[in-house]
Amino acid sequence: MKIKIICVGKIKENSLKNLINEYTKQIKDLTIFEVKDEKNQLGLKLEAKRILKHLNKNEYTIGLVIKGNEHNSLSLAKLFDHIQTNLNKPITFIIGGSYGLDNSVLETLDYKLSLSKLTFPHQLTRLILVEQIYRSLMILNNHPYHK
């Protein structure tokens, strides 16, 4: 399963980089694109242009948004399975910056996902997302990682 993550901003803390790398090196066909974040909400349009240039029409796009659908790990794995089995499309996740995603990006989404009702910094969101992608793939492969 081809998976892409488009993220606004860079990971600054080495400890987070290391944890993210531990998961990404175990996920086959995962690509992460970082786009420059802007200093204020007026920059959302610039961020959106940078995000949109990484999107392809044949991808199933999932945006991480506060008011998105919540899943547990098993139901997220089932969503992955549905996309792979029934739609046969690569999955692209989009993580916005501190001001969220511009409407021009929200309009392109096939699905809106919320990782929690809590608000996380986008750097931590990336770690949580990468771990949940790994966990979902392990569930689909009947691997004992998910207990």
Helices (H), the chain: 14-24, 44-52, 73-82, 103-106, 122-140
Task: Report the chain's C-alpha Rg in angstroms.
Answer: 15
CATH number assigned to the domain comprising residue 39:
3.40.1280.10
Structural domain of residue 105, as residue ranges? 3-140
Q: Which residues of 113-144 are buried (b: 16+ CB within 10 A; e: fewer)?
A: bebeeeeeebbebbbebbebbbbbbbbeeeee
Q: Residue 52 domain-assigned?
A: yes
Q: Is the pLDDT of residue 146 over 80?
A: no
- The pLDDT tens digits of the residues spanning 81-123 come to 999 999 999 999 999 998 999 999 999 999 999 999 998 888 9
Rounded mean pLDDT of 132-142?
96
Q: Residue 145 domain-assigned?
A: no
Q: Residue 147 domain-assigned?
A: no
**Are 44 and 99 a contacting pair, CB within 8 Å?**
yes
Q: Is 119 helix (H, G, I), strand (E, B) or coil?
A: coil
**What is the pTM for the complete model shown?**
0.94
Domain count, the chain: 1
